[in-house]
Amino acid sequence: MQRGLKEYIRKFATTLLTERLDPASAAAAVFWGIFIGIIPIYGLQTLAAVGVALLLRLNKPLILAATFVNNPLFWAPTVVASIELGGFLRHGSFQPWRLLIVFSAAQLKEELFSWVLGSVVLGLLAGGAAALVTMAVVHWLTPAQRSLRQRIRFVNRTYAGSARYDRGFVRWKMRLDRIFSLLAAEDLGTGTVVDLGCGYGMALCFAAFGDQGRRLLGCDLNAHRISVAQHALHALNAETSVCDVRDFALPSAGLILILDVLQYLPAEEQLALLKRCCAALEPGGRLIFRVHDRERGLRTALTLGLDRLLFSAEHVGSRPTILCAAQYRSALSEAGMEVVERRFRNRLPLAHILFLARRPAVESAS
């Protein structure tokens, strides 16, 4: 019983300390913690910090730690700086510092107003500066970010010999599309990698980082992009071909990727393809695919609008077909897959869902 309680406490503490420590969330927690620590709401700062952390789903220990900018060492300089900054904003110049005990009631009211105004501005400035530093530090130190940078450099080197336009497309795609940062945080397993609708083959190259002998298979209908992929990936164990994803012969695979392809297929063909992919996975293998999120209001409308423009530019004789998340989830569950969903948006305000499906490993005989 005591051991179980200790294990529960350990897991709870680990979850609490590590929740939402991506660069943006960590920066937001530090910003709000410092802002709350500087503004004069003494006695309520802890309550305010916890409330903001719960409301915005930020890391609670980090935001609480940031409020300790309000400590005996920094309290006097912070108050003085707030009053002087408030006075400068109100009167256009810094005011001579005077002790509060010599103030009249009117002067005290003026100085208190300057204090409140200056503390808000100082909190915004100090919190913003600390947030930028935090974002840079976390981005640099996070293992997933280190892995992402290494993988991106590997991909860019691989495509360095491609034509200027193609090389530039790969660089900007790797820089702007958040799918690669999400993939870098996942275990991409071992064994054959299949990318249906592989385009330039960037995702295949990305998955080959650290295991350049890994078998890579991809198909796409764009002959130019397949040609670029064949040239760039010639030193890897890669085979790419011009082929419809519905006709591609799926081998036994450890990882199957379908990124921005399913919307080109009718609903029944999407589900049939997913079922075929699940059957082709080795035990413990993973199927990862991205679809548009139909439940994000304006972002959904923008995402679908952009897709329709792309369909029109590519002369696709149909409109994008986007199923609801429950339909994809149900198809994967029926195939016996373990399913995780990650909702995310790209650098542009586009809404997507990343489905991470895993075929259970074969249970050992008891």
Question: Is 136 or 232 the better-scoring residue by pLDDT?
Answer: 232
- Amino acid symbol at 105: A
Q: What is the pLDDT of residues 215-257, one digit of tens each?
A: 999 999 999 999 999 999 999 999 999 999 999 999 999 999 9
Q: Which H or E element spans position 33? A: helix 23-38
* pLDDT above 70 (res 359): yes
What token pair was written down for 319?
Answer: 């409109």
**Spans of all domains in the chain:** 2-141, 164-358
pTM above 0.75, yes or no: no
Return the residue matching tokens 């991809």: 218
Q: What is the pLDDT of residue 301?
A: 84
DSSP tag of 71? S
In sequence order, which residues have a C-beta less than 8 Å from that of residue 151 and are 6 or more positions away? Answer: 180, 184, 206, 209
Q: How confident is the model at residue 296 (pLDDT cuts 50, 70, 90)?
A: confident
Contact 213, 193 (CB under 8 A): no
Q: How confident is the model at residue 347 (pLDDT cuts 50, 70, 90)?
A: low
Q: What is the pLDDT of residue 297?
A: 82
CA 185 to chain centre: 9
Query: Cα-flanking dihedrals φ and ψ of residue 242, to 5°?
Result: -80, 110
Q: What is the pLDDT of residue 59?
A: 86
Q: 164-358, superfamily in CATH?
A: Vaccinia Virus protein VP39 (3.40.50.150)
- Distances from the Cα of 174 to the Cαs of 69, 298, 341, in angstroms? 38, 25, 22
Contact 157, 213 (CB under 8 A): no
Q: Which H or E element spans position 79? A: helix 72-91
* pLDDT above 80 (res 164): yes
Q: What is the pLDDT of residue 364?
A: 42
Q: At what angle do helices 45-56 and 23-38 cross, to 10 degrees?
A: 150
Closest CA to 211 of 239, 192, 184: 192
